[in-house]
Amino acid sequence: MLSLAIRMSSSMAARSCRLRIASRSFSVGSQLNNKESPLISQLALYDIKGVMGVAADLSHVASRAEVTGYEGPDKLEDCLKDSQVVVIPAGVPRKPGMTRDDLFNTNAGIVADLTSAFATACPKAMLCIVTNPVNSTVPIAAEVLKRRGVYDPRRLFGVTTLDIVRANTFVAEAKGLDVNKVSVPVIGGHSGVTIIPVISQAVPGVSFKTADREAITRRIQNAGTEVVEAKAGAGSATLSMAFAAERFVVSVLSAIDGKRAVIECAFVESTVTEAPYFSTPILLGRDGVEENLGLGSLLDYEAKLLQSAMPELLANIDKGVNPAMSVGPSQLESAKHTSDREFQQQLTEEPIRKAFIRKVYSILCCQLLISGGCIAFFIFFEPAKKFAIKFQWLYIVVFSVLFVFLIVLSCFDSVRRKFPLNFILLGLFTLLQGFALGLVSARFKTDAVLIAVGVTAFVVLALTIFALQTKLDFTYLSGILFVLVIVLVAFGILCAILQSRYLTLVYSCLGALIFSVYLVVDTQLMLGGKHKYSVSPEEYIFAALNIYMDIVNLFLFILMLTSSEPQSGDAESGGLVDNGNMQFNEESIRKGFVRKVFGILTVQLVVTMGFIALFVFCQPIKQYAIRNDWLYILALVLTIILVIVLACCEDVRRKFPVNLILLGLFTLCESYMLGSISARFDTDAVFMAIGVTVFIVFALTLFAMQTKIDFTYLSGILFVLLIALILLGLLCAIVQNRFATLAYACLGALLFSVYLVVDTQMMLGGKHKYSLSPEEYVFAALNLYLDIAVTASLLLTVTVIALGSSFQFGYQTGVVNEALVLIGNYTASVALNRTGQPMSDTTIETLKSVVVAIFPVGGMVGGVSAGYLARRLGRKGSLLLNNVPMMLGSGLMLLCAWVASYELLIVGRLFAGLSAGVSTGVAPLYLSEVAPQSLKGASGTLNQLAIVIAILVCQNRLLDFVLGTPDRWFYLMSLTLLPSCLQLLVLPFCPESPRHLLLDKSDSRLARSALVQLRGESSEVDEELSELAREADPPPEPMSLRKLLCTPHLRYLLLVACAMQLSQQLSGINAVINYSTEIFLSANMTQKTATYATIGIGCVNVLVTFVSAAIVDKAGRRTLHMCGLAGMCLSAGALTVSLVLHHNFQPVVYSCVAFIYIYVVFFAIGPGAIPWFIVAEMFNQAARPVAVSVAVLVNWAGQILIGMGYPPVLAQLKDYSFLPFVFLLLVFFLFTWFFVPETKGRTPEDVEMVARERTGTVQYESINPDLDTD
């Protein structure tokens, strides 16, 4: 460790200082340069030991600086006292395979202790930190100084000059310039991608081709790793680091001495970016930082580098800020009571050992994962199993090769330590060992193998915990165990000759016991610490190999203990059935089923644990998972698809080996998701969660097996609660409130605890009301259960329709508001690149308006065609085809990221609008027709629910932060690709509308099949089919718009349908939402609070839509619609009064906020959802498609009218701008009161009868019956 401190000598004309260096690891060359500097009067060196000789040696150099050495913790404050510059280069160097996180674990305590001493001895000095990782050590020092009350951000520097030195050198080499005349600023941080060379600001100016610029940038970022690898374990950069640090120190000294215009890049506290600490050029003065010169002008490429660096930089800073409050002088105090050697070990050995353990277990997890996969392949894939049984000689060949690999890896240190040869050999060894285990496992029954895997996993976990906790030192037994292994081998040869079952049993017991003890010994050898013997941290391959072989041998001996005789070559397929001994009764079958389920579950959990360990301990994978969220989303989508297929497709679920393959893919996807999530949490928290989970699962499983209470009755209730939990999770993701997240986590843990009991009892069968068939071992292992009373098909159908159609309409409606500014900038940039001339603001605004307005134009076209498509292609076929324009539009908008063309964006929005128009017509129609009569209202409300959820997603600040950037907004606009793909994959498994199949296609067989799929086998199916058959007699003829308009009662209903659509769009809801942020700001809210208040409107809209869905089938459509219109009318009036008065009486503005929320509540109650599905409930099968088309067209026209008409109304009426809506809402309320029929509990024929009575037409007749339909 070394502290560099500088004291000023006031007797000198030119100010000279006393410099302290903490750690002799600082290069001797730098110390010589500092001693020769005329600015330094005294140079003090500090280290735990060994510094006195260096100080004596330097003191003989002829220069004015006096050199003093200080050794030991008790001399640290003496060294620092009255200094004016302190340099901390202390810490261990980075070695090959060591990440910067490993480096942080080692160096954090050192920096904290030295900074604490600095705060006591010389708090007014300049503190220059060279210790890596600078991105984390500077925040640590800052937090320690803050805690001591002496923090001055102007005097704390993270020395990043080495990056500038490297950038200058590499650029000068590439361009053939004099390096002394080259200056390249480097901003950001001091590790990997956080290092951002700003080559565009280099002096003199230089230019590179894109490929060359990227190559030189990567070299600058990875220069440290280049040195570490070149030194091959001998350390990291020292000479170049010393040169760079000396340059920075001289600049600081020059500024203290009074020199002007001293500019250096340094990692300091900053407000230039969102990062609290950031490296930029700074102007140095006598008191430290005089001015932060900021980023300057960045090219797009450099801006992208900056954006890519921010997540890692923020994570590094957070790592330094949070631990800093618990790391401090304690280590220094403890050092005062220990020897220098013990103190050095305290600061360095423990973190290195922890990093070594993480590396060993990461390698071990990969080995076990490969071995588990090989075993599963051989026991579940029948051809491989037969191959292994037939060619037993292959095992001898593989064993021989394995023995050679084992000797090489165990006996040759140079091979075992040479990277990457060691990993290649270990990988080959693991593959061969996995293959050998698979060959052995294929000769045993599947149940026995799975039981052996489970028992081995339990024993290994228990023994590992014991080895970690026990105070007994088992490493003394190493020699004895080796002798016992030799004896065991000899005993095994004897057993093979005698072929005695009792000797084999004894042999298995002894082998399991010996390798259990071996596992404890090897674990303690790896842990090190106070144990007599330990493995060097460089021997991670050897340590992983030892533990792996312990586990493999333990598994083999347990397999011999738990199994019967191995299968012979002529065994039946799988070898699982012994017809002579098998008792075909329910109990024996159920027990076999339970064993199979728990066997599969054990394999799943082992794979999952392997993934979690890999993501927690392997830093490159951990960082990769954190940076690439899209992989998590992809895994989530695949998981959902696989769950749906396995849960709903019985044939697939029971077909071997497809079921196991799909289950394996599901397990891998789920494991990746869990690993990715675990990577974002502290390792301690992850392992604590695993421990608690294991305990709870074990306890609840025992409870489920012992209790006499039947929990399977709760299945339906739990499913409803699961849906509510998903929605609550969505709300928590949007609100980002810690207390809401805590409540969500508690409810989720409670819900799935009960689910575990239910699923366990369903698997056990017996006297429980519900149980799973023994053939459903895959389904049981999947631990999923869908509602028994209501089939999964109905839920799946309405969910896919709402997500794949209605959601996209809502998303494309709301997302453009979030990206409008970025679209304007993109348009201007494209025009500038094309013509070289800037586009006028008027033209930009016009193009932005076109981007917004083209969507409803496409919606009108799509809405007009919705009825025709629904009739000709069917409801399901129309929605499947409708994914094409949405995917095409999303693809065109995504293509804008690579093709500079705002025309593509406009065309993409047009196609998206076309798709949305069809969706708004067909989706409510489909939802209404697949739902039973008692749930038609709730099912129809799902359309509006999906729309408002999509709009709420668009308002999510997290989504805007991740994708709402200049180089990512294309992805934001094209996210509708995902629900389209989901609908294309899942909707084919959903049934077609039974009404369409029977009335339009006259196919009673398919109609009944669809009803059975939607309702299940029940008497309701036949009753509903009979009602549809009566409506189909005589078969309805498709009706044209002309004929519909010429039929009085249908014309009446069409007028009602159009009025209902206008009541939604002309209610003023869009105006209120768009104006809400300004109202919130006028209520003295901050911009951030106003933004969250606006998001709160979206949340209220979603929640009240749920309420509407729950009560619409009880309260009635007409009643709810009138209630909503009346409430909105009164709220709009009150809001207008409040807006007028709030200028004179400020408290009134709070009532504006309240009335906005009340307004949204009443909109969600009725006008938000009901107009979408009431059209389908009013018209018969013949008139419904054309009526839906006209109604949707009117709805889109109303949307365009409000979009274009409200801004000028707002400009003219200002605070009175809501008065027109008060009048319109009153008109629509009266219209609904007098003209809109109630459709709750009525068929379309019943509604038509009401319309006939009101129009005076007693029977179906047209004004001119001779008019042709088309």
User: Do 780 and 763 touch, CB atoms closer than 8 A?
Assistant: yes
Contacts of residue 886, Cβ cutoff 8 Å, sequence gap at least 6: 808, 911, 912, 915, 916, 976, 980
DSSP 934: G
Tokens at 772, concatenated: 């799973």
Asked whether the bond before 281 is cis by omega within 30 degrees of 0, the reply is no
Contacts of residue 749, Cβ cutoff 8 Å, sequence gap at least 6: none
User: Do 1053 and 1178 touch, CB atoms closer than 8 A?
Assistant: yes
Q: What are the CA-CA distances from residue 582 to residues 573, 576, 578, 585 (Å)?
A: 16, 10, 6, 9
User: Do 47 and 31 touch, CB atoms closer than 8 A?
Assistant: no
Q: Long-range contacts for 571-574 (Cβ within 8 Å, ≥24 apart)?
A: 571/389, 573/382, 573/386, 574/382, 574/385, 574/446
Q: How far is CA 29 from the centre of its chain?
A: 48
Q: Taking Cα atoms as reference points, which of 768, 903, 757, 750 lies closest to residue 823? A: 903
Beta bridge pairs of residue 66? 42
SS3 content of the chain, % helix, strand, coil (to 5): 70, 5, 20
Distance CA 551, CA 370 (A): 13
User: Do 786 and 762 touch, CB atoms closer than 8 A?
Assistant: no
Active-site residue, 163 included: yes
User: Do 818 and 972 touch, CB atoms closer than 8 A?
Assistant: yes
Beta bridge pairs of residue 688? none
Distance CA 302, CA 986 (A): 42
Tokens at 510, concatenated: 């002894």
Beta bridge pairs of residue 326? none
Among 47, 102, 190, 1113, the one annotated catalytic: 190
Q: What are the CA-CA distances from residue 592 to residues 447, 448, 579, 582, 646 (Å)?
A: 8, 11, 14, 11, 21
Q: Taking Cα atoms as reference points, which of 539, 593, 371, 355 lies closest to residue 460? A: 371
3-state secondary structure of 360: helix
Cα torsion for 1208, 1209, 1210, 1214, to the nearest 10°?
A: 130
Q: Taking Cα atoms as reference points, which of 217, 213, 212, 219 lies closest to residue 197? A: 217
Task: Residue 926: count other Cβ atoms within 10 Å of its Cβ.
Answer: 29
Task: Give the residue carrying structure tokens 């397990």.
Answer: 667
3-state secondary structure of 391: coil
Among 47, 113, 163, 550, the one annotated catalytic: 163
State the Cα angle at 626 between 625 and 631, rounded to 5°: 45
Distance CA 291, CA 268 (A): 11
Tokens at 166, concatenated: 């490297």
Q: Taking Cα atoms as reference points, which of 1038, 1013, 798 lies closest to residue 924? A: 798
Amino acid at 874: G
Cα torsion for 1147, 1149, 1151, 1157, to the nearest 10°?
A: -150
Beta bridge pairs of residue 263? 283
User: Do 183 and 296 touch, CB atoms closer than 8 A?
Assistant: no
Q: Read out DSSP for 464-520?
A: HHHHHH--S-GGGGHHHHHHHHHHHHHHHHHHHHH--HHHHHHHHHHHHHHHHHHHH
Q: Which residues are the active-site residues?
A: 163, 190
